[in-house]
């Protein structure tokens, strides 16, 4: 179980264009790493679009946004183009990062139990240390809550 103050697990995954992206590439920058279930689902789309709508503010603060799901790089490319997403989306079909970050969990929906990605956001500091874990976030408020936290405002 990951906790605040622990080193963030390293990963290297493919982005929507098939390029390898590693967490270490962002040392010296704060990273908002969010895990979501699937491209083009209503909640995941709303969450991604909220990060996109606030992207300029994140960039002004020197913060990198990275979204990770099990979807393919090709799916991420379509998702990003359809929704004008300016940030990095990484493909994790083998669930390496998803499991390393502990977000592959049992979920219950309408009485049905299954395994899946629990929507979770990690704020990683400039040294690669987990600064804040936001579990079971709401897609409509996640981006705003992250901004409030980064600005030191009450959430």
The residues annotated with a catalytic role in the active site are 44
3-state secondary structure of 40: coil
Q: How many residues does the chain have?
A: 155
> Residues near 12 by Cβ (< 8 Å), separated by ≥ 6?
20, 21, 22
Instruction: For residues 132 and 51, give the distance between their C-alpha atoms in angstroms, rounded to a whole number.
Output: 17
Question: What is the distance, to the nearest Å, from the Cα of residue 26 to the centroid of all Cα atoms in its chain?
Answer: 14
Sheet with 120-124: list strands edge to edge.
Answer: 20-22, 12-15, 88-91, 63-69, 30-35, 120-124, 130-134
Instruction: For residues 68 and 87, give the distance between their C-alpha atoms in angstroms, rounded to a whole number.
Output: 11
């Amino acid at each position: 179980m990951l906790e605040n103050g622990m080193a963030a697990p390293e990963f290297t995954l493919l982005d929507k264009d098939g390029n390898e992206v590693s967490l270490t590439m962002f040392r010296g920058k704060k990273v908002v790493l969010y895990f979501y279930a699937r491209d083009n689902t209503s909640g995941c789309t709303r969450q991604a679009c909220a990060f996109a709508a606030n992207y300029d503010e994140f960039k002004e603060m020197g913060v990198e946004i990275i979204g990770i799901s099990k979807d393919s790089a090709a799916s991420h490319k379509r998702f990003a183009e359809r929704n004008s997403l300016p940030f990095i989306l990484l493909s994790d079909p083998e669930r390496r990062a998803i499991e390393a970050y502990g977000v592959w969990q049992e979920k219950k929906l309408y009485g049905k139990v299954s395994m899946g990605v629990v929507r979770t956001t990690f704020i990683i500091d400039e040294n690669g240390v987990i600064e804040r874990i936001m579990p079971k976030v709401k897609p409509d408020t996640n981006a705003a809550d992250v901004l409030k936290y980064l600005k030191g405002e009450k959430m």
